C-alpha cells in the first residue's frame, strides 16, 4: 500500500523521451538479440510507472512481459524486460526489431513508458551510423591514450586475473579499428585473440578480448602483467589501439591515492527499486566507489580476506540516528552489496525509491545518512 503511493506520486518527466541511447555492437547482434539499458534509467522512467502487479512480478521473477510500440511504424510487439543486476535487458522481439529497422551501431534509440506500453523510436534523421568500411587508425600520438582506468581490487586479483573495460570505450576506441571479419568473430564467438604490447617495457603478449555484455574482459597474460609490473589498487592504466596492436601503459608517477578529498560523503546514490526491496534486502554500490572510498582505507590483510572469501563483516553506523549495526560487504565482481541489517534499515528509515543515501568510511566504520528533505 505504501509502495503504490510512492510510485503514483512521482510526476511525469518533461522530456518526451527520457531514455536515449546510442546503439552499440552488442545491441544490434541478431545472434544474441537484446537491448541493454541502464538500471537507473529503467527504474526511474519505466518501472516507476508500471502497475503494482508488474512491479511485484519483476521483483519476484526477475522479468516481466509488456506491450511495446514502434512509434515510427505503429507496429506492436509483446516484449520482456529482464533484470540483470546492474542493468536491464529488453528481449523478446528485439532481434526482429533490429532486422526490420535495419539498426546499426551509432543509431540513437529513444524510449518512454506511456499508458501501460513501452514506446520506442529510432528517427532516421538522427542516425549517426558507423560506416561499414574499415576505419583507418589515426597516427600514433605520444600522449594519446583514449582509454584510462584507475585499477580496482578485482583488476589486480591474480587468483582470477582479468581487466574489465567499459563496452562503450572498447567499441569506440578499439573495435572501430578492427576489420569486419574480426568484429564478426568477436560477435559470434564472444572472444578473440589480440596482440598487445607493454609501452613501458616493450614486451609483447598474445592476449584475448572476451565480451561480457556490458563490458569486455582483457584476459590471457593479465595475471603475469599484474605480477611483473607490481600493479596495485589506485594505479592508472592507459590503453590505445594502433598498428593492429593493443598498447598499454602504467606510468609509475601516476600512482594516485584515491582518497575522498574534501567531500565528507564521497559515495552518494539515489535509491532504486532493488535497493528498497525488503523481500531481498541489499544495497548495491558501484565497485569503483567502494574500492576508492572504503577498501582504500582497509589493511592489506582485510583486502586479501575480502578477495578470498568474497565478503567481510563490517561495523556500520546510521549518522542520522546514531544506531550501529553489524553488516556485511559482499563482492559481486563489478559491484558490491551491503547486506545483513539492510532490510531493518529500509523499514526503520522508511526508505523509498529516489531518496539519496550517502556513505563514507571513518575509523574502521561505515557511516551512512539519508537526509530527510
pLDDT at position 151 is 83
User: Grid coordinates standing for 219?
Assistant: 584476459
Three-state secondary structure call for residue 92: coil
Q: Which long-range contacts (CB under 8 A, 24 or more apart) does 362-365 make?
A: 364/315, 365/314, 365/315, 365/316, 365/317
User: Grid coordinates standing for 334?
Assistant: 563489478
Quickly state the pLDDT bin for 329 (edges 50, 70, 90). very high
pLDDT at position 373 is 64
Mention every residue, 6+ apart, whose C-beta is less than 8 A from residue 127: 104, 106, 107, 108
The average confidence (pLDDT) of the chain is 83
Quickly state the pLDDT bin for 369 (edges 50, 70, 90). very high
User: Grid coordinates standing for 306?
Assistant: 575480502
For 107-121, write each residue's pLDDT tens digit.
Answer: 889 999 999 999 999
Angle ∠(321,327,328) on CA atoms, nearest 5: 150
Three-state secondary structure call for residue 184: helix
Distance of alpha carbon 78 from alpha carbon 80, whole angstroms: 7
The proportion of the chain whose per-residue pLDDT surpasses 90, expressed as a percent, equals 34
Three-state secondary structure call for residue 48: helix
Amino acid at each position: 500500500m505504501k509502495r503504490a503511493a510512492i510510485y503514483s506520486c512521482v510526476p511525469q518527466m518533461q522530456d518526451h523521451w527520457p531514455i536515449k541511447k546510442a546503439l552499440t555492437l552488442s545491441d544490434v547482434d541478431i545472434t544474441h538479440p537484446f537491448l541493454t539499458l541502464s538500471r537507473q534509467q529503467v527504474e526511474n522512467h519505466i518501472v516507476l510507472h508500471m502497475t503494482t502487479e508488474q512491479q511485484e512480478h519483476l521483483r519476484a521473477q526477475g522479468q516481466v512481459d509488456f506491450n511495446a510500440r514502434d512509434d515510427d511504424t505503429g507496429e506492436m510487439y509483446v516484449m520482456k524486460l529482464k533484470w540483470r543486476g546492474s542493468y536491464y535487458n529488453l528481449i523478446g522481439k528485439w532481434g526482429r526489431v533490429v532486422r526490420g529497422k535495419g539498426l546499426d551501431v551509432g543509431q540513437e534509440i529513444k524510449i518512454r513508458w506511456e499508458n501501460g506500453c513501452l514506446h520506442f523510436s529510432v528517427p532516421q534523421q538522427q542516425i549517426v551510423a558507423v560506416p561499414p568500411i574499415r576505419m583507418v587508425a589515426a597516427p600514433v600520438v605520444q600522449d594519446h591514450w583514449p582509454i584510462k582506468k584507475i585499477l580496482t581490487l578485482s583488476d589486480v586479483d591474480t587468483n582470477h586475473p582479468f581487466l574489465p573495460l567499459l563496452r562503450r570505450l572498447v567499441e569506440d576506441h578499439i573495435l572501430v579499428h578492427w576489420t569486419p571479419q574480426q568484429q564478426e568473430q568477436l560477435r559470434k564467438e564472444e572472444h578473440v585473440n589480440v596482440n598487445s604490447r607493454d609501452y613501458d617495457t616493450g614486451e609483447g603478449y598474445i592476449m584475448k578480448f572476451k565480451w561480457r555484455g556490458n563490458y569486455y574482459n582483457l584476459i590471457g597474460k593479465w595475471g603475469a602483467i599484474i605480477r611483473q609490473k607490481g600493479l596495485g589498487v589506485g594505479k592508472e592504466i592507459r590503453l590505445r589501439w594502433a598498428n593492429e596492436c593493443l598498447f598499454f601503459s602504467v606510468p609509475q608517477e601516476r600512482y594516485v591515492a584515491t582518497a575522498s578529498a574534501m567531500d565528507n560523503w564521497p559515495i552518494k546514490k539515489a535509491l532504486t527499486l532493488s535497493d528498497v526491496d525488503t523481500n531481498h534486502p541489499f544495497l548495491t554500490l558501484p565497485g569503483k566507489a567502494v574500492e576508492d572510498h572504503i577498501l582504500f582505507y582497509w589493511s592489506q590483510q582485510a583486502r586479501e580476506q575480502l578477495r578470498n572469501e568474497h565478503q567481510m563483516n563490517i561495523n556500520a553506523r546510521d549518522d542520522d540516528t546514531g544506531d550501529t549495526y553489524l553488516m556485511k560487504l559482499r563482492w559481486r565482481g563489478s559491484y558490491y552489496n551491503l547486506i545483513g541489517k539492510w532490510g531493518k534499515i529500509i523499514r526503520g528509515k522508511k526508505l523509498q525509491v529516489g531518496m539519496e543515501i550517502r556513505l563514507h568510511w571513518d575509523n574502521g566504520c561505515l557511516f551512512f545518512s539519508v537526509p530527510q528533505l
